[in-house]
Amino acid sequence: MSYSHCTMGSGSRTSRRTLEFGRTYVVRPKGKHQATIVWLHGLGDNGSSWSQLLESLPLPNIKWICPTAPTRPVALLGGFPCTAWFDAGELSEDGPDDWEGLDASTAHIANFLSTEPPDVKVGIGGFSMGAALALYSATACALGRYGNGNPYPINLRAVVGLSGWLPGSRGLRNKIQASHEAARRAASLPILLSHGTCDDVVPYKFGEKSAHSLNIAGFWNLTFKNYEGIGHYTVPKEMDEVCNWLTARLGLEGSR
């Protein structure tokens, strides 16, 4: 998590107003367009750095959309203004979840995906807080609605979460299992989670707990990979596995 885009400016600009999302970076597919994935950065970052990494991956059939989160005061940083998809306090099972922020950012991502051609498969991925939002989107997709009850309009075909956590894990199992449709959608949605065992920002146990919570809620098409000795960052081996997983799950032609 780099805090390079956290600003010390006066608090007046971040007073209670509609939060504006930052710049969106798009990486066009180099081959036939088969899938579109919105990729979400971590706390204090922006879409640009990830768009450069994603552009270098051997995935010519994917269009990547890398939005930038709004700048908002973040409780975890003592109210310091920072790019963040939602407000986060201490990471814990019992920490309050910023439902309003989660829903607003999830809807912003859904808007990008809603305009993609019908024959293009769509997915969401992210790192750290971006991974948390990707997983929240996965639960909204299964339930068919946002936390506020509004219908969730996107049929996600793949979700990737690197070094993240699951917001709103409490009560998820009951919500999913209460609906036959939600249980069916949860069971069929492919999810890839990966986490470094030496992560000192989002501890490994949160990745493990998130995988467990999703699994018992009925997200059975889930792969959890751990990376021994790795901290809060991605490594080439991990990105290779992401590429292989996406190619298989989305049925991509690859670089042939």
Active-site annotation, residues: 128, 199, 232
Closest CA to 254 of 89, 95, 31, 77: 31
How many whole angstroms separate alpha carbon 226 and alpha carbon 224? 7
Rounded to the nearest angstrom, the gap between the alpha carbon of residue 213 and the centroid of all alpha carbons in its chain is 16
| Cβ atoms of 126 and 39 closer than 8 Å | yes
How many whole angstroms separate alpha carbon 29 and alpha carbon 55? 9
| Cβ atoms of 40 and 109 closer than 8 Å | yes
| Cβ atoms of 227 and 238 closer than 8 Å | yes
How many whole angstroms separate alpha carbon 184 and alpha carbon 175? 13
Strand pairing report for 222-227 and 191-196: parallel
Q: Where are the alpha helices (DSSP H) in the chain?
A: 47-55, 99-114, 129-143, 172-177, 180-188, 204-217, 236-249
3-state secondary structure 39-75: EECCCCCCHHHHHHHHHCCCCCCEEEEECCCCEEEEH
Strand pairing report for 121-127 and 80-83: unpaired
